[in-house]
Structures are given as C-alpha cells and as structure tokens.
Amino acid sequence: MIPVALILLTSLLFPGIVVKVKALVSGRKGPGLLQPILDIIRLLRKGNVYSNTTSSIFQIGPTIYFATILFCMFFIPFGDTSGLISFHGDLLLFIYLLGLGKFFLILNALDAGSGFEGMGANREALYSMLVEPAFIILFGTFSMMAGYDSFYGIFAHWHLTSGSYFVLSLLAAYILIQIAMIENSRLPVDDPKTHLELTMVHEVIVLDNSGFDLGLMLLANAFKFGIFGALIANFILPEHQLLWIRALIFIGVIFLFAVIVGLMESFRARLKMEKNPQFILTLSSIAAIAFLVALIISNKLL
C-alpha cells in the first residue's frame, strides 16, 4: 500500500511542478502547484457531452483508460517491499495493461468519426508501438541479471554495488524518462500546448471529450508520470534504511523527475514528424546496449 499512496501523492503534484518549472524558466510567476489538479477536479465535477454520432465505445473509453493506469500502479514495489499485486511475470501484464488503455483511448478517438482525431490516433498508435520494444528489452535485461521476472524480484535484488550497475541504472533512468515523455505525448514528439490540427497528436485525440471523461484522461496521464517516476526511484532506493528515509528518497526522485520534465520542455524543440520514429527507435538501440553490457557483466557473452 505504501508505493500506491506515494505515487498518488506525487502524481497529484506532478503536473503543477512541471508547469511551475516551465513558468520560472521563462521568467514568469506561473500558476500555483495545485492549479492543474484543481482544474482536473473541476472537470470531474462536470457532466459529459456526447455526440449523436458516437457509440458506447466513446463513453467507456476514458474509464477503461483510467482503470488500466490505476491498476498498473498496484504492480509498483517500494524497494524490497512488494506492491499490492506481485507475481511471476507481472511486468508483462503491466505492459499489456498500458497497451490496453492506449487501445481504448485510440478507439475513443476513432469512434468520434473525426478525420483529425483519426490522424492523431494513428500517430499515437505508431509511437506506442515503436517505444514498446525499448521497455521490453530494458526490463528483460534486468530480469536476466536479477534472475526474476517480476518488478518486486528485480528491484529487491538490484543493488548498486559496482560501477557497472550504476551505469545500467543511469541508462534505465534515461530510457524511462524518454518513454514517459512519449507515452504521455510530450516534447519532443508532441507539444501539449499546440493547437494546430495538422501537428497535434494527443490533444487532437481528446478533442471531443469533455467534463468527467476529460478529467479522467488528464488524471490518468498524471498517474502515468508518477508510475514511471516510481520505477526510476526503485533503482536507487537504499537498502536497510528507515522507512521514512526511503519514502523521502522515493518522493524526492519523482519530484526531481517532474523538474527534469519541466526543464526538458523548456529547452527542447519539437521534432519534425518524420524524425519522431527515428528518435523513438533510438531508445531501443540504447536498451540493446544496456543488454550487451548486462551480458558482459554476467559473463554470458561468449
């Protein structure tokens, strides 16, 4: 229950930290830390407006998307403490749940019958498909080194005892940050502030959603950032430390992740559309390098 509570706490503040960092970097005061979550709460208190051309798929899509992200949160451990759900191969179910949520999000966009939403759904499906190998290769590498195929088994037996493990942790942190940016349709593959239909990806998908459904989508995206931040934090949680010290480190890493996202979006330019696939596939190449390093460390490379 501890990791779920910490992820929920940090996820609610994550969007506010990102917005605040971007405002300070650009020389503005910006909104308060709680403003983005207050906007989400306002949306959750409103009703939905559905077009007559949509079906039940459009209505259940946001709820299933939110439910899958929330369920993924239950797999995240807290160092050597397992998550609410832990079993052999749970990281594969984690990947499939993320894919299932994205599938219903795309169906939600397609069901609206808009050409623009279909275009955005096509792009989001492509980016998710291209980024999935990087995540699988990365955690397949750590599963091989730890000898376990669950998040709890991997992180409970992952120790920063040598420079090689430290380098692998840095590579993992970099890849997970980039995956989080792609999965949440942020820079450099998408700009959440753009409103030009021809270049929008995620924003054009949620164009026809309103009220409670839109609030669920925004909240799910915040939770997704918290989940990826928690995965990064688990790599560096110290062993045999007091619970409150590990909790502070866990929260600090996720907050640092939010600051990094804010800085990246402040100094990063959006890539051209034709460059996005090449950029995303680069992450799989970096994950493959981590796999080769792991083979060398474990003396399995002949």
Beta bridge partners of residue 204, listed in sequence order: none
94 pLDDT more than 90: yes
Nearest alpha carbon to residue 139 among 128, 131, 149, 129: 149
* CA atoms 130, 135, 141, 144: torsion sign: negative
Q: Which domain holds residue 81?
A: 2-297
- CA–CA separation, 182 and 178 (whole Å): 6
* CA atoms 80, 85, 87, 93: torsion sign: negative
Q: Which percentage of the chain shows pLDDT scores above 70?
A: 97
Scanning the structure block, which residue is given the tokens 């009703």?
47
Nearest alpha carbon to residue 280 among 126, 92, 140: 126
Eight-state DSSP code of residue 280: H
Beta bridge partners of residue 78, listed in sequence order: 81
Residue 302, domain member (yes or no): no
Phi-psi region of 48 (alpha: psi -120 to 50; beta: other; left: phi over 0): beta
Mean pLDDT computed over every residue of the chain: 89
Q: Which percentage of the chain shows pLDDT scores above 90?
A: 59
The model's pLDDT over 255-286, given as tens digits with 9 standing for 90+, comes to 999 999 999 999 988 888 889 999 999 999 99
Residue 65, domain member (yes or no): yes
Nearest alpha carbon to residue 90 among 168, 148, 29: 148
The total number of structural domains that make up the chain:
1
Residue 230, domain member (yes or no): yes
Element (H, E) at 290: helix 276-297
Residue 118, domain member (yes or no): yes
The model's pLDDT over 200-241, given as tens digits with 9 standing for 90+, comes to 788 888 888 999 999 999 999 999 999 999 999 998 887 767
The model's pLDDT over 46-58, given as tens digits with 9 standing for 90+, comes to 999 998 888 999 9
More confident residue, 164 or 26: 26
